Structure 1
Amino acid sequence: MKYRPEPIDTSGVALGDDLVALTEVLARNSHERWARQRLEDGWRYGPQRDDARKEHPCLVPYEALPDSERDYDRVIAVETIKALLAIGYGLQAPRPSRVTATSRVTAGNAVELLENVESLDLAALIALWNTHDPERALGTREVYRRFGERILRLGEPLLASDVLVEGLKRHAGDVRLLQLQALALARAGATQRANGILAQLDRDGHGDEETLGLLARTCKDLGMRAGDPEERKAQLSCAFDAYARAYRSSDGYWSGINAATLAVVLRDRETAVAIAREVRETCHRVLSQPRTGGTDAYWVLATLGEAALILDDWGQAEMWYGRAAAEGVGRFGDLSSTRRNARLLLEHIGGDRTRVERCFEIPRVVVFAGHMLDRADRPHPRFPPAIEGAVRDAIEERLRRLDGRLGFASAACGSDLLFLESVLALGGEVSVVLPYGRDEFAADTVDVI
């Protein structure tokens, strides 16, 4: 058979900067779809491709792929976009959010805020919060709830606490606001205060799964930190009791698996195994149903991995943890939480820790400080603009060797910005930490060059 491929002619199509950026998104998605299908078909990571053992070296996050593999995905993405344009289709960027970082938040635009809060980034949320009139309500209690939830998801518990404190002043006793305030305090390190709020909610008859789960988490954290063995056992027993009560009242797999894990820690193997088996069945039922907007497949898969560990089924544990890792690409906080629970289990049941660890390759956190670009009038060169490209290359190379994709730095014009851009180019996350006010910092370190 003679076959002569004849793809659409895209030689006359040039992509603008916005579409070039889109190709990276599509290339990443292509890899994620391929990886998910492989994992669902029973494949797992292996250093060499082995069809008999269903192992493949490319079952890793997109950022960890060799350059040759990522380039392959990029070519497919580029040619797909070019083909669409060549046959007459157009691509239009999504409309920006109607609520911007400079919008003023008042009770009058609470509805608009509610419609857009999930699409706002942290900078916009901070601007919205800082520009609202503290003498006037931000909006309904639902506005405070949504606002606080969004900020917590973006990893700013202190700011979330400020929002929730104001919300509770205007809507005293609101259970959801109190739950969120406790969560913010726990994430900010004020575990004892969070525990007190949650214990009071439980005493007041608000012992739903959310309250009991958070109460159990704070008891667990207090127990793990306790230096006294009796205090440790007492707090962990309280945590088990709260998780078990939540599980009995809701049949929720999340509270159930946490109860099972703590039963292992408390050396009640029989109870742990019984709960793990029940949770496993619940998770299989959830996975067999069509996925809805309220179902987060990551936690179902991670729970199945944890249940398999408790049941001493290492093959299943590796498989489910591998699928969870593929589902949770980029969700470093969730991956870290899952790995932490797995490590806790392994401390008590033993076994080859590396079999689980390799499922959760979380990048390193890198904190950076460096020189600004030289001003034109600097008498003795330190960082002349002529070597900017070489410095960028050196930073990227170092980040690749460290697998550093969680970056913290200020944003001075020079090596700080090169570092932040390099982390983003590797598919990581950055946090800008300013030593003083934004406007003054910009005037001193950005506008001067």
Structure 2
Amino acid sequence: MFDLIHQIPEPWRQLADVLIAPLAWIPRLQHTLWDFFFAPGPLWLVILKTLFLVFPALLAVAAVWCTQLSIYTLPFRSGRAQFIPTMMLTWWDAVRAVWLYWVGMFRFVAVVLGWTVTFSTFVAKLVLEVIRQIALMPFTMTGRMTESYFRPGVPWIAFVLLIFWCALEAAIFTYTLMPTVTELLADLVGGESTAHYTGAILYFFLLLLIMGSFACVQTLMDAVKKREWKYIIQMVVVELFVMFFEVVFLYRELIDALTPWIAQQTGVKLGLAVTLSLSAFGWIGIRGMTWFLFGQFGTPSMLAFISRRPMVDEGEPRPANGKPTPPWWRQPVAELKQEIEWLHARSNELLDYLVLPVLQIAAAALNFGMVLVSSRQVFSLPFKETKEITETWHILQTLHLHQAPRKPATL
């Protein structure tokens, strides 16, 4: 546009220069600002210029254009006395808007840095806590297991040891009895076809017998505790038969398997009476040691499991109407909801910190344009919060640009 001045005839060129003088320097100012903002430099300098100077520079350019253009309208305005103070106050609002923009951006940067430091500290503490929990996990789990183990309930260690011992004893006796049973079955059926299934059947049979032996001991101990003499005598007789069966058919085979080694070491051949005596002593010793170690605690649990009856501690009865324990996931979900609500609230606050300074600049620039066009401002600056921004339909009603109000819409 300014290049057209050189095409004007010489007598009129000076007059055109005078008329265009209020606007002639603005393009040079824009080129200077353009070169300043797009000049190469360090990244941090570019970020600072973009963050703190771009919007004030745009406001300054808009304000200069509106102010200089208003000079041409002064001769034709009816309220010139009111227009000039309005323009001056608009410049004052623009200066305040720029200052508040800088303050708001500094506050935004400070809040972001503060949240970043806080979040980094939280992450560091969380990582350290995870490392500490992993390091202390063996001790924590041991403590929790110990705490829960000593509460009334099923003695799991004794129960597992009892089952393991029964399985181990059944395996040992299966190994010692396998040749005898295989030979006996071969003589009875006249073949070796039963050898494939003999081991499993014999093992299961011996496992039940050994578990039944512990059950008989438990029944005898219960009768002794209750001092039921008639029942005690009956269980003693039953226990003698159990002992006789296991000694003759199980422990004797074990002693017979050890007889060659005993004869080799001592040179003494064991007779039937000595073999049965050693078998009886072995049964009493093994059954006594296992009973006092874990059998007396694990056998009631085994019988309760087989009979499907609950184990009730008479000393500490459980409450009948206890409140059910809430699911384990409710507390983490509730905490997650609280964190999401807090994040939404803080994100809205951060959005206000970011948007409000920019809207100050935009409102100041729009005020310049409205002063140029209608000699009045449309926004009362400064904004303290986004709710103070006037809605568009209200602005149009104020300016009498529409007869009927439009549907409310946020600026």
Give the greater-gyration-radius structure (CA). 2
Structure having the higher strand fraction is 1
Greater length-normalized contact order (CA 8 Å, ≥ 6 residues apart): 2
Structure having the higher helix fraction is 2
TM-score (norm 1): 0.17
